[in-house]
Amino acid sequence: MTTPVKGYAAHSPTGRLGLFAFDRRSPRADDVVIEILYCGVCHSDLHNVRNDWGNAQYPMVPGHEIIGRVIDVGPEVTRFKAGDRVGVGCLVDSCRHCGACGKGWEQYCENGATYTYNGTDPVDGTRTQGGYSEKVVVAEHFVLKVPDALDLAGAAPLLCAGITLYSPLRHWGVQPGSRVAIVGLGGLGHMGLKLAKAMGAEVTLFSRSPGKEADARRLGADRIVISTAPAQMAGVAGQFDLIVDTVPYAHDVNPYVPTLATGGTMVMVGYLGPLEGFNSGPLVFSRRALAGSLIGGIAETQEMLDFCGQHGITSDIEVVRIQDINEAYERLLNADVKYRFVIDMASLKDEVRA
Amino acid sequence: MTTPVKGYAAHSPTGRLGLFAFDRRSPRADDVVIEILYCGVCHSDLHNVRNDWGNAQYPMVPGHEIIGRVIDVGPEVTRFKAGDRVGVGCLVDSCRHCGACGKGWEQYCENGATYTYNGTDPVDGTRTQGGYSEKVVVAEHFVLKVPDALDLAGAAPLLCAGITLYSPLRHWGVQPGSRVAIVGLGGLGHMGLKLAKAMGAEVTLFSRSPGKEADARRLGADRIVISTAPAQMAGVAGQFDLIVDTVPYAHDVNPYVPTLATGGTMVMVGYLGPLEGFNSGPLVFSRRALAGSLIGGIAETQEMLDFCGQHGITSDIEVVRIQDINEAYERLLNADVKYRFVIDMASLKDEVRA
């Protein structure tokens, strides 16, 4: 049995998003039914809709930064009840028994985690559809509690942008006094500045644009280094314990590596693909590493939300109506947002009435 | 005041090594004077002599896998006396006060370690000259004790090849049960098999050549995977906690990365330079890292020698006379040695007499 819901979907790689009616499953015993209030717009929504990664299936309802309110629960659900403020991120299931899942690393599930949209439900084989919609039905294990202190709209991007930065900062041991640099000031980067600062780090922003200084400082940066200025780059040689590179397109990472301290790590979280001419020399001469990191596990995501609740951290957002999503995508392509679009899903009610 | 000594030196990038007379400094207060008995031939000797790294100064006496006997000590030397069996590796000095030196990471000295040859002595500004010679004068801190259990000739390659593998195996926490792979079976690789096995790891050799199986197993490999066979590579996907890549020339590292487990690290120790087309995707999707590592610190090198003494580990060597060094270099270029040339420096006495 299923329930009909409305959302916005892409129907082809070149097409625009438009109103789409589809079915959500009836809750299983461990499911939580969530009325979606807000959904963040992630850069990867754009990649997925445009089939940049070659695995798109249409129609596709994007959205994996979901904030909502519980409206129903299955009989085995113990941690949630109707009325609770909850979140759903990039994952709605995983095998739950492999080594990675056992460690709480559901994002690295050895049998393949189930993504919130453009994925396949492991129980019934249906396609998963995301948060640009009225409601969603998700297994309790993958539902997060949203602290009361957090603004609901501003909390939405924490579910992907927030955890994508929080996980490497924690995994590589950032603590008071750590020297952390963030490459790029966008949806991911601005969360990196806020989170690293709240962890007590000395925070540097690498940016190509001199105009971002005031904003970067407001968000938590102690210093801005213009990455295209060789003298500025030389001035921070050997400085950083950790660099998190949030740039989502192909770029030369070689200039950043020598700014790592001995034993330092540069973590890629934005770009997937070939790093042309990447040089092993600066790794060898100071035992540095280039690593990657993907979102975070479920327990770690809850820890991140609680941390944000304690420190009053949400994303800087621009709220849009679902009817304006295609224009928002155009602006996202031009990096014209500070720093994350969040869809007010109440706007979808206008469509339902129409 | 100085002492005249004889050695073999290169006089140009294209030239061959030949007899060369030069001066060694008289011992300073903390110096140890060492009669050289054996010196290993490292692949980097070839790179340096041919000026592959662009910093060669001639005449150059190579050699940084030095085994000898103490013949004199300065008045402040406390740990050594005449007659002791000692070793000198790639480093003969460092600033001794930076953060790296303070941690025992002299090889990553922030002010630049002093290499055993083709370096500049920080006290008197003279050029350092290496172990293809009668004797060497080295500050006590950089002199290692060679355990009695070790054959002196076979111990020579431990000073570079041995520590180059020991350091990353220890730094990345190899212990009983760790799944370790070594890429390439040469001077470095064969030490990797021996050391990883002695640490209790499950050891795999990646090789392009099927003919190396018997030798690899004798040296400590539990398994050989032919890296050019896609089915064999697919069969070890996600398997290794640590891969140490010892290949000294440009090669495609992308096929190895997916054989790392989640959170695994691949460490480059042989090749310095561009990794064309290196892909960040497999790093991101399983929180993997590509790192580099350079020899080891002095305390760690002593620990390695003691470990080798306890486990009866030396290098598999072919002993040559100094007069045959140019032929040995030719054979090294063709990977025609199992697995390390070591020069018996007694052969130099024939030159001195002549």
pLDDT greater than 90 at residue A75: yes
pLDDT greater than 80 at residue B351: no
- Cα separation, B147 vs B165, whole angstroms: 19
Rounded (to 5) percent helix, strand, coil in chain A: 30, 30, 40
- Cα separation, A18 vs A351, whole angstroms: 11
Instruction: Find the length of chain B.
Output: 354
The tens digit of pLDDT for each residue in A96-107 reads: 999 999 999 999
pLDDT greater than 60 at residue B319: yes
Please give the mean pLDDT across all residues of chain A.
96
pLDDT greater than 80 at residue B214: yes
HSE, side-chain direction, 13 A CA sphere, residue A193? 27
- The verdict on residue B30 lying in a domain is yes
- The verdict on residue A297 lying in a domain is no
Q: Which residue of chain A is at minimal alpha-carbon distance from B283?
A: A292
User: What are the chain A neighbours of B269 within 8 Å (beta carbons)?
Assistant: 284
CB B157 within 8 A of CB B340: yes
- Clarify whether residues B170 and B153 are in a common domain: no
pLDDT greater than 90 at residue B269: yes
The amino acid sitting at B119 is G
The amino acid sitting at A119 is G
| Distance (Å) from the alpha carbon of A168 to chain B's nearest alpha carbon | 9
CB contact under 8 Å between B287 and A275, yes or no, is no
Region A114-134 average pLDDT: 97
CA of residue B71 relative to chain centroid, distance:
25
- Clarify whether residues B141 and B177 are in a common domain: no
* Sequential DSSP letters for A91-112: EEE--SSSHHHHTT-GGG-TT-
- Cα separation, A193 vs A187, whole angstroms: 11
| Distance (Å) from the alpha carbon of A235 to chain B's nearest alpha carbon | 14
Please give the mean pLDDT across all residues of chain B.
96
| Residue A264 neighbours by CB under 8 Å, 6+ apart | A240, A241, A242, A243, A286, A288, A289
Q: Are β-strands B85-88 and B144-145 bridged in parallel, bridged antiparallel, or unpaired? A: antiparallel
3-class DSSP state of A192? helix
- Res. B190 pLDDT band, cuts 50 70 90: very high
Q: Are β-strands B135-139 and B31-41 bridged in parallel, bridged antiparallel, or unpaired? A: antiparallel
- Clarify whether residues A41 and A74 are in a common domain: yes
CB A84 within 8 A of CB A145: yes
> Which one of A166, A280, A294 would you mutate to disrupt binding with B, by most B Cβ within 10 Å of its Cβ?
A280
- Split into its structural domains, chain A has a count of 2
Task: Say what the pLDDT of residue A14 is.
Answer: 83
Task: Say what the pLDDT of residue B354 is.
Answer: 53
Q: Which residue of chain B is at minimal alpha-carbon distance from A103?
A: B262
pLDDT greater than 60 at residue B34: yes
- The verdict on residue A302 lying in a domain is no
- Return the number of other C-beta atoms located less than 10 Å from residue B278's C-beta: 22
Give me the residue label for tokens 């050891």. B203
- Clarify whether residues A166 and A155 are in a common domain: no
CB contact under 8 Å between A105 and B285, yes or no, is no
- Clarify whether residues A180 and A113 are in a common domain: no
Cross-strand bridge partners of residue B23: B4
Task: Say what the pLDDT of residue A350 is.
Answer: 87
- Clarify whether residues A11 and A152 are in a common domain: yes
The tens digit of pLDDT for each residue in A154-213 reads: 999 999 999 999 999 999 999 999 999 999 999 999 999 999 999 999 999 999 988 999
The tens digit of pLDDT for each residue in A258-317 reads: 999 999 999 999 999 999 999 999 999 999 999 999 999 999 999 999 999 999 999 999
| Residue A153 neighbours by CB under 8 Å, 6+ apart | A37, A38, A67, A317, A319, A342, A344
- Res. B353 pLDDT band, cuts 50 70 90: low
pLDDT top residue among A333 and B354: A333
- Cα separation, A113 vs A142, whole angstroms: 11
- Res. B352 pLDDT band, cuts 50 70 90: low
- Res. A341 pLDDT band, cuts 50 70 90: very high
Helices (H), chain A: 43-49, 99-102, 152-155, 161-171, 187-198, 213-219, 230-235, 281-284, 298-311, 325-333, 348-353
- Clarify whether residues A98 and A223 are in a common domain: no
Domain CATH for A284: 3.40.50.720
Task: Say what the pLDDT of residue A353 is.
Answer: 59
Q: Which residues of A fall below an 8 Å CB-CB distance to B? A: 99-100, 105, 108, 110, 171, 238, 262-263, 265, 268-269, 271-294
pLDDT greater than 90 at residue A223: yes
CB contact under 8 Å between B279 and A273, yes or no, is yes
- Cα separation, B139 vs B156, whole angstroms: 19
Cross-strand bridge partners of residue B10: B60
**Element containing residue B73 per DSSP (H, E):** strand B66-73
pLDDT greater than 70 at residue A76: yes
CB contact under 8 Å between B269 and A279, yes or no, is no
pLDDT top residue among A15 and A35: A35
Token pair listed for B338: 């199992």
- Res. A1 pLDDT band, cuts 50 70 90: confident
- The verdict on residue A303 lying in a domain is no
CA distances from B165 to A223, A339, B53 (A): 38, 45, 22
- Cα separation, A311 vs B274, whole angstroms: 42
- The verdict on residue A308 lying in a domain is no
- Clarify whether residues B270 and B328 are in a common domain: no
CB contact under 8 Å between A293 and B286, yes or no, is no
The tens digit of pLDDT for each residue in A134-153 reads: 999 999 999 999 999 999 99
| Residue B339 neighbours by CB under 8 Å, 6+ apart | B185, B186, B187, B189, B190, B191, B315, B316, B317
- Cα separation, A12 vs B352, whole angstroms: 82
CB contact under 8 Å between B281 and A273, yes or no, is yes
Facing B280 at nearest CB: one of A99, A263, A292 = A292
- The verdict on residue B297 lying in a domain is no
CB A136 within 8 A of CB A41: no
pLDDT greater than 80 at residue A354: no
- Res. B4 pLDDT band, cuts 50 70 90: very high
Cross-strand bridge partners of residue B275: A278
Token pair listed for A91: 């994952």
The tens digit of pLDDT for each residue in A23-52 reads: 999 999 999 999 999 999 999 999 999 998
Helices (H), B83-128: 99-102
- Clarify whether residues A243 and A146 are in a common domain: no
Task: Say what the pLDDT of residue B46 is.
Answer: 93
- Res. B263 pLDDT band, cuts 50 70 90: very high
The tens digit of pLDDT for each residue in B216-234 reads: 999 999 999 999 999 999 9
What domain range is B41 assigned to? 2-160+317-353
CB contact under 8 Å between A287 and B272, yes or no, is no
CB B37 within 8 A of CB B345: yes
- Clarify whether residues B134 and B271 are in a common domain: no
Domain CATH for A86: 3.90.180.10
**Element containing residue B81 per DSSP (H, E):** none
Domain end point (choices A258, A292, A326): A292
Q: Which residue of chain A is at minimal alpha-carbon distance from B111?
A: A238
Token pair listed for A27: 């809750």
- Cα separation, A304 vs A311, whole angstroms: 10
Chains A, B: CB contacts within 8 A come to 121
- Cα separation, B92 vs B140, whole angstroms: 9
Region B79-84 average pLDDT: 98
- Res. A15 pLDDT band, cuts 50 70 90: confident
Percent share of chain B, pLDDT over 90: 94
CB contact under 8 Å between A108 and B287, yes or no, is yes
- Clarify whether residues A23 and A44 are in a common domain: yes
- Clarify whether residues B133 and B180 are in a common domain: no
- The verdict on residue A76 lying in a domain is yes
Cis peptide leading into residue B8 (ω within 30°): no
Region B283-296 average pLDDT: 98
pTM score over 0.90? yes
pLDDT greater than 70 at residue B133: yes
DSSP state of B160: T
What ipTM was assigned to the predicted interfaces of this complex? Answer: 0.94
Q: Please state which of the ranges A11-20, B218-227, B299-308, B314-323 shows the lowest mean pLDDT.
A: A11-20
CB contact under 8 Å between A262 and B287, yes or no, is no
Task: Please choose, from the candidates A318, A304, A67, A86, the residue with its C-alpha nearest in 3D space to the C-alpha of residue A194.
Answer: A304
Q: Which residues of B fall below an 8 Å CB-CB distance to A? A: 99-100, 105, 108, 110, 171, 238, 262-263, 265, 268-269, 271-294
Task: Say what the pLDDT of residue A352 is.
Answer: 57
The tens digit of pLDDT for each residue in B8-19 reads: 999 999 879 999
Angle at alpha carbon of residue B254, lines to B249 and B259, rounded to 5°:
115
- The verdict on residue A298 lying in a domain is no
- Cα separation, A58 vs A342, whole angstroms: 23
> Which one of B179, B262, B267 would you mutate to disrupt binding with A, by most A Cβ within 10 Å of its Cβ?
B262
CB A5 within 8 A of CB A21: yes
